[in-house]
Chain A
Amino acid sequence: MGHADKHRIGDLLQRNWKTLVTALPFIWLLLFFLAPFFIVLKISVAESLIASPPFSALLDWSDGGFPSMTINTDNYAYLWEDELYLRTYLNSLKIAAISTLLCLLIGYPMAYGIVRTSGTTRYLLLLLVILPFWTSFLLRVYAWIGLLTDQGTINDVLLWLGLTDKPIRLMYSEFAVYVGIVYSYLPFMILPLYANMEKLDLALNEAAGDLGAKPLTAFLTVTLPLTLPGIIAGCLLVFIPATGEFVIPDLLGGGNVLMIGRLLSSEFNANHDWPVASAVAVVLLILLVIPMMLYHRVQSRSTNAQPSAETA
């Protein structure tokens, strides 16, 4: 009997393995992403208390059998009323946008160059792009402190060359934050661009040239539109995490650079105001869901366009 049962389980697995394979990660996401999100959402509509945990409960069971639900929207109103939050959000978006643009300007030619090489050179160059991931992100940001401080390598070299007589202030500025973000997120721009450009048929450029397009025109009319999915993917992969970035503005920007990640952290750790911190996180998430949905739409459109329908 046990034998027969084993058989049936095996059959069941065999028939439903596809469902299982997709269901498992979904369950994982549900448990460890969606559930915490709802907890954060719940805290964001609570009231701040000096207690443990430092916020009021969503459901109050004290009134007999029926729980009463209290939703407190003050935290969101507070974010709107205090100008600091709005400015910080906008500044975060600005820094993320400019960093994304810088990554694109640096990463696009790099990816294009890598695709144009072949064989060992190509894999070596790709390896160099991925290589930084082998070291801790935090460590690499700390390394930038060593480069950027008044006594850092860059200022030492500038002083030694006589280009300046006193150290230039590089650390704790927006400049340092840009350097950190562009440096850290460049691979996320290059890799999707590379993946997209690798599929590009070089004969298309030749065809454009053959039909009378000068190199710049050929780039604008053929290469650029065809690499647009890669550009969008790369930009979103840089923009989304850069907006909420905490480590880089904290370590390189210090108190001089307003970024939402830092604000959230100080709200949570220094002020112990969990509900406001949660509200900050929820608004950030909503801000970032918009570009994410955009990305998804572009992705699904490009995958729909891929299969070569043989319509006679």
Chain B
Amino acid sequence: MNQPHHRPDPYTERPWLNPAISPFIQIQGVTKRFGDFTAVNAVDLAIYQGELFALLGGSGCGKTTLLRMLAGFETPTEGRIIIDGLDMTEVPPYERPVNMMFQSYALFPHMNVFNNIAYGLRRDGIKSDELKRRVNDIIDMVELNPLTHRRPHQLSGGQRQRVALARALVKQPKVLLLDEPLAALDKRLREQTQFELMNIQDQLGITFVVVTHDQEEAMTLATRIAVMGAGQFEQVGTPADIYENPQTRFIAGFIGSANLLSGTVQDCQPEKGTDDAPDTSRVQIVTDEGNQLLSVSTDRVVAAGDAVTLAIRPEKISVTLQDSAVSDTADKVPDNAPNTVSNNGSGTVPGYVSGNVPENVLWGTVQEMAYLGRLSTFRIKTDAGPTLEVTAPNQRRVLDNRHLIDWDDRVRLTFSSDSAVLLTR
């Protein structure tokens, strides 16, 4: 805000924040039932033009059913689907300005690459020169030139994926639906294809709706993510919103990994926000396991005695060896004085130190260590009770298999109150 010329216009990057723009796809109160089973339950969603929107969830959460309703393969039991201002709820798939890339790719096995891609254009009555030009343009874009006469069974998985993409894009749909577009590719190809998809989307400006079960894929690809569970949206937001500010325990556990500590609110102190940050409160909670006192800042309204959950990501906890920790910093805590609430509940709170020093300090022992190359993950049993998962980047080379922190080491864990998230659901 202070330097507007350095930032892109927030509305072109984030059209959903601009009240002047109306959404391109509107899903209004859509429910889909199959017999007794409710696959999608009264869902509302607005997707804006040019977005790369991800529907993320585990199997059976209703994400594919929602996508199939956008494509027209399923008709909603209740609710309406509006695309570019037109009610599409009852319109059959072959009359929708929408194309889909199928999870299995669904390439026609009896046609070569060219004819697969040309299929949609032929249905629109496009012939000869224009047909050739448009098919060849898209073949150039997905770099399939030498393969136009191959049949699908003569192509590799990655090539088939490109044909499927080209076939869906060649009709220049208003919306491209992608059902698990990268699921069938191996890891290396998947990463490469992710960026290609993003480039193509950027080039063509077509609105993409991607269904995926892979949270990493959703995080990399999407402008916004809707996390689905049991036929409803758990949270809709940008990847950073969802990762850094999960609204529920489900989200915190589903996206990335998180240490979830249930506890009770002991104290709630409001803090005045600055220009950049809204008002928050600093909340003291006591964990159910081990009566550990922890401090967390939140914009949620809670009162003393509320049952809450504190979520802290493994990478947001820093871990140091106990010996170096004691010598490095001023907060000298004896080994035999764990940070538990004193029985009288007086105002002095060990472990909570204001100022530049970390607000939450715990001591513990490394129970398990996994070396993953660029980082290591630890399971640390804290003296107070809860076991925490912590990851640390391996900034120094590990030589002679001597890890800086290893099994059974005594360690100090610290995290600041705004690194943790307070959850009420």
Contacts and interface: CB of A to CB of B under 8 A. Distances in A.
A306 B94 CA distance: 30
A212 B123 contact: yes
Interface centre among A208, A212, A311 (most CB of B within 10 A): A212
Contacts of A211: 94, 99, 119-120, 123, 167, 171
Contacts of B72: 209-210
A51 interface: no
Given A308-B153, A311-B155, A311-B156, A210 B109 contact: no
Given A210-B72, A210-B99, A212-B171, 15 more contacts: A203-B104, A204-B108, A206-B73, A207-B100, A209-B72, A210-B98, A211-B123, A211-B167, A211-B171, A217-B123, A222-B108, A305-B151, A306-B153, A309-B154, A310-B156
Given A203-B102, A204-B106, A226-B110, A209 B94 contact: yes
A226 B123 contact: no
Contact of A209 (B93, B107, B168): B93
A306 B72 CA distance: 31
Nearest to B103: A203
Contacts of A306: 153
Interface string B102-137: 101011111000000001100110000000000000
Contacts of B155: 311
B185 to A, nearest CB: 14
Given A206-B93, A311-B155, A311-B156, A212 B106 contact: no
Q: How large is the interface on B (under 10, 10 to 19, 20 to 34, 35 or more residues)?
A: 20 to 34
Nearest to A310: B156
A206 B167 CA distance: 14
CB-CB nearest 7 A-B residue pairs:
A211-B120, A212-B123, A207-B106, A203-B106, A209-B93, A308-B153, A210-B100
A97 interface: no
Nearest to B157: A310
B317 interface: no
A165 interface: no
A203 B71 CA distance: 13
Given A211-B171, A212-B171, A213-B123, A201 B94 contact: no
Interface string A252-280: 00000000000000000000000000000
A310 B153 CA distance: 7
26 contacts: A203-B106, A204-B108, A206-B73, A206-B106, A207-B102, A207-B107, A208-B108, A209-B72, A209-B92, A209-B94, A210-B100, A210-B168, A211-B120, A211-B123, A212-B94, A212-B124, A213-B94, A213-B119, A214-B94, A305-B153, A306-B153, A308-B153, A310-B156, A311-B155, A311-B156, A312-B156
Nearest to A307: B153
Nearest to B98: A210
B304 to A, nearest CB: 56
B153 A201 contact: no
B104 A225 contact: no
B110 A212 contact: no
A226 B94 contact: no
Nearest to A208: B119
A225 B110 contact: yes
Contacts of A222: 108
A268 to B, nearest CB: 47
Q: How large is the interface on A (under 10, 10 to 19, 20 to 34, 35 or more residues)?
A: 20 to 34
Contacts of A204: 106, 108
B233 to A, nearest CB: 25
Contacts of B119: 208, 211, 213, 221
B103 to A, nearest CB: 8
Nearest to B93: A209
Interface centre among A210, A222, A307, A312 (most CB of B within 10 A): A210
A217 B95 CA distance: 14
Contacts of A210: 71-73, 93-94, 98-100, 168
Nearest to A222: B108
B207 to A, nearest CB: 16
Interface in A194-224: 201, 203-204, 206-214, 217, 221-222
A210 B95 CA distance: 8
Contacts of A310: 156
Contacts of B171: 211-212
A93 B167 CA distance: 45
A212 B156 contact: no
B154 to A, nearest CB: 5
A311 B102 contact: no
A311 to B, nearest CB: 5
B74 to A, nearest CB: 11
Contacts of B109: 226
Interface string B146-158: 0000110111100
Contacts of A207: 100, 102, 106-108, 167
Contacts of B104: 201, 203
Contacts of A208: 108, 119
Nearest to A308: B153
B68 to A, nearest CB: 9
A210 B124 CA distance: 12
Contacts of B100: 206-207, 210
Contacts of A212: 94-95, 120, 123-124, 171
Nearest to B110: A225
A309 B414 CA distance: 55
A81 to B, nearest CB: 48
Interface in B315-358: none
Contacts of B71: 206, 210
A128 to B, nearest CB: 25
A224 to B, nearest CB: 10
A307 B153 CA distance: 8
Nearest to B71: A210
